[in-house]
């Protein structure tokens, strides 16, 4: 039995759960393949991200701020926030606080970028 333990490599515990991953080749839960990623990300944009942006926008509008939700080619969706009293006519929306979600099909992940 001692020889058996020495011959098998021991994996370190997973940093967030503290458990050891018993199957190195096991597919991560919820992962989708590269071909279906764009359609799945578009579905998430419509059903999750945009409704959340709109709900945040209602709160911002009630406080006197302005917002704009934009979708760009390549699967990016952004919310641009214009604080109350700011002169937006002289600056593009990207000059103001912006939160962008974008898909990375090769990695099968969704990225997040915050600016200003």
pLDDT in tens, 19-70: 655 554 455 555 566 778 888 899 999 999 999 999 999 999 999 999 999 9
Q: What is the mean pLDDT of the chain?
A: 79
Model confidence, pTM: 0.65
∠24-27-31 over CA atoms, to 5°?
145
Residue 92 has pLDDT above 90, yes or no: no
Asked if the model's pLDDT at residue 9 lies above 60, the reply is yes
Whole-angstrom CA distances from 96 to 28, 87, 103 are 37, 10, 22
What does the domain layout of the chain look like in residue ranges?
30-115
Instruction: Tell whether the torsion through CA atoms of 14, 25, 29 and 71 is positive or negative.
Output: positive
């Amino acid at each position: 039995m001692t020889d058996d333990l020495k011959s098998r490599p021991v994996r370190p515990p997973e940093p967030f759960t503290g458990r050891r991953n018993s199957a190195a080749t096991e597919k991560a839960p919820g992962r989708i393949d590269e071909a279906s990623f764009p359609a799945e990300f578009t579905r998430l944009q419509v059903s999750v991200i945009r409704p959340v942006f709109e709900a945040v926008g209602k709160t911002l509008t009630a406080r006197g701020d302005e917002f704009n939700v934009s979708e760009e080619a390549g699967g990016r969706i952004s919310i641009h926030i214009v604080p109350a009293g700011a002169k937006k006519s002289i600056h593009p929306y990207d000059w103001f606080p912006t939160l962008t979600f974008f898909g990375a099909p090769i990695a099968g992940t969704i990225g997040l970028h915050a600016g200003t």
